[in-house]
Structure 1
Amino acid sequence: MTKPIQPIIIKKVKKAAHGHHGGAWKIAYADFVTAMMAFFLLMWLISMTTQEQKDGLAEYFAPTSALSAGSSGSGGILMGTALDKAGNKTSEPRDATRDATGQENKARPTSPSGASDREIKPRNASMQANYSAMASLRQALQNMPEIADLSRNIVIEQTKDGLNVSLVDDNGRSMFPEGSVQPYDRTRLVLEALAPTLRRLPNQLSVAGHTAVARPGSVPTVDSWSLTAGRALSVREILSGAGLPSNRFTSVAGRADTEPLFLDNPYIPPNRRVTITLLNAEPPLPPGVP
């Protein structure tokens, strides 16, 4: 008797595919590697910078530390605004008066008409002469492209006393080595470029050195009075060596930190400067006045 044929049953077990584990860890790892690369790059840059550059970077990120991009004017050398004692940037003379609408009124009388007219005419003539001198000084510096990168360090402004030409420290770039009365070679080039124009101008000159106020807790390494006086003397000597007669100078002084350029922040680098002032000529006395 034959056995019945049993059907062969084959069971196929389908394995379920593994679910997606997600790639969030890959993103986190990539961020970590990027952060580490940036960290080591920062460490390398810090090790390659000088102390002067580090100070400049620190001042740059301070809220009120940096000069505006327009302090040198239109991207060119000395082509516009200047620094004002109150910390504002202005291309107008400090002694110019303005009316209630903010418009400049240089000829506003301040005394009876006869006297004010005589006072205003010499003043306007002096201002006109200062503008002409300013243009001559700018042209002298523009003829030297090798010092074009110092445009932010040279500030020309008109004041009530005359025309100021200031060599100003900027963030990351100083005109004198720290604690030294002898300027950098680039500063010497600027002064030698200015000397021929200053010699042609009729103005008497005064030179004053200034420094920034020491930050609280810091210990000054040099006396600020001696430092600023020494820098002013160095500027006078360089100008004299470049052909400027000694009798053109009326005074050479060190002001230490008594006259900060930025009253609201006397610690920042632009307060460190040496200023050459082209003094206004005294107006001639009218006939009959002793």
Structure 2
Amino acid sequence: MSDLKQVIIVRKRRKAAHAHHGGVWKVAYADFVTAMMAFFLVMWLVGAGTKQQRAAISEYFKNPSMTQGQSTMSPSGKMGPGGASTSMIKLGGALDLPKGPGDQQAFAKPNSAEVDKLAREQEKRRLEQLMQDLKEAIAKSQAMAPYKDQLLLDITSEGLRIQIVDKQNRPMFDTGSGVMKSYTVQILHELAGFVNQVPNSISISGHTDSAPYIRADSAYGNWELSADRANAARRTLVEGGMQPGKVARVVGLAASVPFDKADPAAAINRRISIVVMTKEAARAALSQEVANEPDVPEAPATPHPAEQEHLGAGVPDMPASPAKSTVGSALPAPRASRRS
């Protein structure tokens, strides 16, 4: 029996697990988040109000009873200023809050004058952006770099004006002709894509210098020549991808609106002017009432080069051309001593 080994049994006591909380802490956390959200909402609403409104809120909490209060801007209570308000809480956000005395009318439907003003401002910004895009494209384009001094951009009351002017040794057209030089075609093809970026209509006008141009048949002069060149510009823009329906007017102004008033015979006066018109200008250009007015002056005004360009209203009647000119058609040599 002495050889038997004593068996020792060790019993380990297991520690009881912690009792489950049952998700009570989630309810407390949700209440905390809700309270914080309500706090920040109150702070935001107070910050969105005016000084008078904050004074009214302060007075309300000081005197929330039905008796008379001393608020500088009272809520609509049953018993007059300072009383408890019976109005429902608006849930539309800060836009539902009046911004100051008399601002109840600020949320009324805007009238037509305000709508037109906003539309004009938006249109002006769009044209200014188009002019900026054009300037950047001209500056970056290697193909147009040699001609950038012949492209003049400015904003007039009628819209964005793009003028392509002649240089002494780099004319846009053949002498006394509506046939374009190859680089003029390239410039107009580049411009066509930019003109398509905006929905505005355009007006195209042709200009010559003051040198008289008389063709052999004596019925073709600077008026017809400037009109043919303007129409050639229209065709070239369409060939470059411009939508044909964008053209509202094509006119020839001969030498009636010189760019350089001091020297009407200067080469810079020979130019093509493309105006990306505002809606108001386009409406006036296409208005039959304006066209039929009996008191329209017979001679176009001569504005400063920086001002708007006359787009043909009241231009004297041009002598009828014996035949419709076509780009590429040969013209008899001019008899004038100077070119247009």
Q: TM-score, normalization: structure 1?
A: 0.53
Task: Tell me how far apart the structure 1 counterparts of residues 208 and 270 of structure 2 sit (CA, whole Å).
Answer: 4
Matched, 1:232 2:211: no
In the other structure, the counterpart of 1:210 is 207
Matched, 1:191 2:188: yes
In the other structure, the counterpart of 2:269 is 271
In the other structure, the counterpart of 1:134 is 131
In the other structure, the counterpart of 2:256 is 258
Task: Tell me how far apart the structure 2 counterparts of residues 151 and 259 of structure 1 sit (CA, whole Å).
Answer: 23
Task: Tell me how far apart the structure 2 counterparts of residues 232 and 177 of structure 1 sit (CA, whole Å).
Answer: 14
Cα deviation, residue 175, structure 1: 1.4
> For residues 15-94 of structure 1, what are the structure 2 equivalents within 5 Å?
none
- Look at both structures and tell me which one has the larger radius of gyration over its CA atoms: 2
Matched, 1:172 2:201: no
Letter matched to residue 237 of structure 1:
R
Task: Tell me how far apart the structure 2 counterparts of residues 265 and 172 of structure 1 sit (CA, whole Å).
Answer: 17
Cα deviation, residue 206, structure 1: 0.9
Letter matched to residue 199 of structure 1:
N
Task: Tell me how far apart the structure 2 counterparts of residues 166 and 238 of structure 1 sit (CA, whole Å).
Answer: 15
Cα deviation, residue 135, structure 1: 1.5
SS at 1:256's partner residue? coil
Matched, 1:124 2:124: no
In the other structure, the counterpart of 1:248 is 246
Cα deviation, residue 246, structure 1: 1.2
SS at 2:258's partner residue? coil
SS at 2:279's partner residue? coil
Higher relative contact order (CA 8 A, sep 6+): 1
CA spacing shift, 1:133–1:155, aligned 2, 3 Å:
same
Task: Tell me how far apart the structure 1 counterparts of residues 270 and 235 of structure 2 sit (CA, whole Å).
Answer: 19
Among 137, 140, 147, which residue is 1:150 paired with?
A: 147
CA spacing shift, 1:143–1:192, aligned 2, 3 Å:
farther
Conserved 8 A contact 2:209-2:267: yes
Among 198, 201, 210, which residue is 2:198 paired with?
A: 201
Task: Tell me how far apart the structure 2 counterparts of residues 219 and 176 of structure 1 sit (CA, whole Å).
Answer: 14
Identity of aligned pairs, percent? 26
Unpaired runs of 5+ residues, structure 2, are 1-110, 282-340
Task: Tell me how far apart the structure 2 counterparts of residues 229 and 219 of structure 1 sit (CA, whole Å).
Answer: 13
Among 182, 189, 193, which residue is 2:179 paired with?
A: 182
Letter matched to residue 173 of structure 1:
R
Letter matched to residue 186 of structure 2:
L
Q: TM-score, normalization: structure 2?
A: 0.45
SS at 2:280's partner residue? coil
Letter matched to residue 178 of structure 1:
T
Cα offsets for 1:14-63 (capped at 9, x unmatched): xxxxxxxxxxxxxxxxxxxxxxxxxxxxxxxxxxxxxxxxxxxxxxxxxx
Task: Tell me how far apart the structure 2 counterparts of residues 190 and 251 of structure 1 sit (CA, whole Å).
Answer: 20
Task: Tell me how far apart the structure 2 counterparts of residues 128 and 163 of structure 1 sit (CA, whole Å).
Answer: 11
Cα deviation, residue 121, structure 1: 4.3
SS at 2:162's partner residue? strand
Unpaired runs of 5+ residues, structure 1, are 1-113, 284-290
SS at 1:145's partner residue? coil
Cα deviation, residue 220, structure 1: 4.5
Conserved 8 A contact 1:227-1:254: yes
The number of aligned residues is: 167
Conserved 8 A contact 2:213-2:222: no
Conserved 8 A contact 1:141-1:190: no
CA spacing shift, 1:219–1:118, aligned 2, 3 Å:
closer
Cα offsets for 1:165-199 (capped at 9, x unmatched): 11101232211121110111111111111111211
Structural RMSD (CA): 2.4
> For residues 92-107 of structure 1, what are the structure 2 equivalents within 5 Å?
none
